[in-house]
Amino acid sequence: MLTAERYIVLLNHFAGPAAGDRDEFEVTLEDLTELFHCTERNVKLIVRKLQEEELIGWIPGRGWGNRSRIRLLAKREPFMLEFAKRLAQKGEYRTAFEFLHQFEEDKPILDRFIQWLNTQFGLEKWSGDNSCKDVCTLPVYHTPVSLDPAELYYGFDSHLIRQVFDRLVRYDTEADTIEPLLAHHWESNDAGTEWIFYLRKGVRFHHGKILNAEDVVFTLERLRSEKTNSWLLGTMERAEAVDAITVKISLRQPNWIFPRLMCSSCASILPSDWAGQDDKAFWKLPSGTGSAEIGGGSKRSATAAA
């Protein structure tokens, strides 16, 4: 990328919009030392590297008064567009936009970059290893604080968490009702101190693990032990797996709105095996059950990339 950045310096100095179709310019090593803010020795190394990358042609001046000539082999607009694309492909979207916004006269390049960027997001199918996945790629224009539901503070983070993970139940704001999600049914005792959730069969995490009751118990016990959002389960006495798809949650006191609390993004269900990683590594590429549509008692896997 450094060589590309140096070539862009040359493009901006010599081949701006006012240069027209010219691609060859007179130059001296002294001019380049000022342009690159380095010594003449380093300028010679830069020129050699740019030649090796076939970005410039260099015709040294011979004799007194004859200036060297530099030929810019890569056109300005396609090269700057490709540079911005490479930044975006590395996840550096903000840097790409800041780079293009430096040059107001090059607005057509920015427009083409945005057109290309819009084609990189959305739902597509990825195939490999004898499997096929629906992958949803989402644009993220600033870094989330945390994707850990137990450390959730901000609405933006909550939105991303809801793409990666699911909860036992969800709240429908329009109908003002609690609907099934990972749990297809739930019930309580007469006192409201014991709640049982029955999980859907065949739901998979992105790394392939099938969701079971132990994942729910792991998530709730972890959430209760965390300082940030432990209030959500302040009355929980214990959570236990009755069987592979049944979870029983015992409370110290009645709580008739407990299912509503389980709609919170903070209660998103994590895999108990950390996707085969340690805690720290997991949060670099978290694995959830996604937000694909449920049908026929199973769930398609989806991945949200930020």
Please name the amino acid found at residue 255.
N
**Nearest-angstrom CA–CA distance, 151 and 266:** 8
Which carries the bigger pLDDT value, residue 302 or residue 10?
10
Span 242-301, pLDDT tens digits:
999 999 999 999 999 999 999 999 999 999 999 999 888 999 889 999 853 333 333 333
Answering whether pTM is above 0.75, one says no
**Nearest-angstrom CA–CA distance, 148 and 122:** 24
Domain ranges of the chain: 1-74, 83-120, 149-305
pLDDT band at 304 (very low <50, low <70, confident <90, very high): very low
Q: How many CA atoms lie within 13 A of 294 on its CB side?
A: 19
pLDDT of residue 21: 72
The CATH superfamily assigned to 149-305 is: Dipeptide-binding Protein; Domain 1 (3.90.76.10)
pLDDT of residue 19: 61
pLDDT of residue 105: 74
pLDDT band at 23 (very low <50, low <70, confident <90, very high): confident
Burial class (CB in 10 A: 0-12, 13-18, 19+), 58: middle
Averaged over 129-151, what is the pLDDT? Answer: 76
pLDDT of residue 196: 98
pLDDT of residue 185: 97
pLDDT of residue 297: 33
Is residue 302's pLDDT more than 70?
no
Averaged over 147-158, what is the pLDDT? Answer: 90
Span 179-199, pLDDT tens digits:
999 999 999 999 999 999 999
pLDDT of residue 273: 95
pLDDT of residue 141: 64
pLDDT of residue 76: 87
**Nearest-angstrom CA–CA distance, 33 and 16:** 20
Which carries the bigger pLDDT value, residue 301 or residue 63?
63
Q: Do residues 200 and 300 lie in contact, with contact meaning Cβ atoms separated by under 8 Å?
A: no
Residues 6 or more apart whose CB falls under 8 angstroms from that of 180 comprise 169, 170, 200
- What integer best gives the mean pLDDT of the chain? 86
pLDDT of residue 2: 86
Helix ranges (DSSP H) in the chain: 2-14, 29-36, 40-52, 76-89, 93-101, 107-118, 155-164, 213-225, 258-261, 279-282
**Nearest-angstrom CA–CA distance, 170 and 263:** 5
Least confident range of 36-45, 68-77, 122-131:
122-131
pLDDT of residue 66: 79
Please name the amino acid found at residue 50.
L
pLDDT of residue 291: 59
Neighbours of 38 (CB within 10 A): 13
Q: Do residues 216 and 197 lie in contact, with contact meaning Cβ atoms separated by under 8 Å?
A: yes
CATH class of 1-74: mainly alpha
User: Strand (E) positions, 115-207?
Assistant: 122-128, 131-137, 169-172, 177-180, 183-188, 194-199
**Percent of the chain scored above 70 by pLDDT?**
87
